[in-house]
C-alpha cells in the first residue's frame, strides 16, 4: 500500500491556490478540468516531494465543484500536516501575507493555520523543536484550529 493524496473541497479555486501555493509554498503538480461533471481537480505537492518523485509523491487534491456555493463543517475533516524547515520563519511569512496563525508555535514545534475553506493545517518543525522565543511564546490562540 502507498499513500496517494488527501482530497479537500474548495469553494473558490483562485483563493485556495493563492493560499496553498503562493502563501504556503506548495506546487501545482497536475490539473484536470472535467467539463461534463462541472469540476476541476488540482493536485499539489511540496516542491521537495515533487522534485524527488514527480507525480508519485504525496499530494493534496483540491476539488472545485463549479456549481457549489460553499461547504460547511471543514473542521470535521481533521487536518493536513506538513514538516517545515523553520516554523518561526514560515509563520512570520504567513502572517505578513494575512494568514491567521490560529495556534502559534509557542513550543517551537507546532502551529496551526486554516485554509480559506476552513481546513486545519498543522505545521510541525522538522527535526527537534526550536528554542521557544517571542513573540510566539506570549501569543494566544486565535479562533479554532
Q: Can you read off the three cell numbers belonging to residue 47?
A: 516542491
Which is catalytic among the residues 28, 61, 68, 122? Answer: 122
Q: Which residues contact 87 (CB under 8 A, 6 or more apart)?
A: 105, 108, 109, 110, 111, 123, 124, 125, 130
What is the enclosing helix (H) or strand (E) of 17? helix 13-17
Q: Is 68 a catalytic residue?
A: no
State how far the alpha carbon of 1 is from the alpha carbons of 4, 27, 51, 77, in Å.
9, 24, 22, 22
Which of the 8 DSSP states describes residue 1?
A: -
Q: Can you read off the three cell numbers belonging to residue 14?
A: 483562485
Report how far residue 75's alpha carbon sits from residue 16's, in angstroms, rounded to the nearest whole number: 16
**Which residues are catalytically annotated?**
122
Amino acid at each position: 500500500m502507498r499513500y496517494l493524496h488527501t482530497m479537500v473541497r474548495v469553494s473558490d479555486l483562485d483563493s485556495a491556490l493563492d493560499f496553498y501555493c503562493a502563501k504556503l509554498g506548495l506546487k501545482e503538480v497536475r490539473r484536470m478540468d472535467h467539463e461534463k461533471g462541472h469540476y476541476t481537480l488540482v493536485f499539489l505537492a511540496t516542491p521537495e516531494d515533487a522534485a524527488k518523485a514527480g507525480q508519485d509523491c504525496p499530494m493534496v487534491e483540491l476539488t472545485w465543484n463549479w456549481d457549489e456555493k460553499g461547504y460547511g463543517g471543514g473542521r470535521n475533516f481533521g487536518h493536513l500536516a506538513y514538516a517545515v524547515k523553520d516554523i518561526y520563519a514560515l509563520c512570520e511569512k504567513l502572517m505578513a501575507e494575512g494568514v491567521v496563525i490560529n495556534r502559534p508555535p509557542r513550543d517551537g514545534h507546532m502551529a496551526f493555520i486554516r485554509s480559506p475553506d476552513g481546513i486545519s493545517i498543522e505545521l510541525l518543525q522538522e527535526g527537534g523543536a526550536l528554542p521557544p522565543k517571542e513573540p510566539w511564546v506570549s501569543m494566544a490562540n486565535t479562533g479554532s484550529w
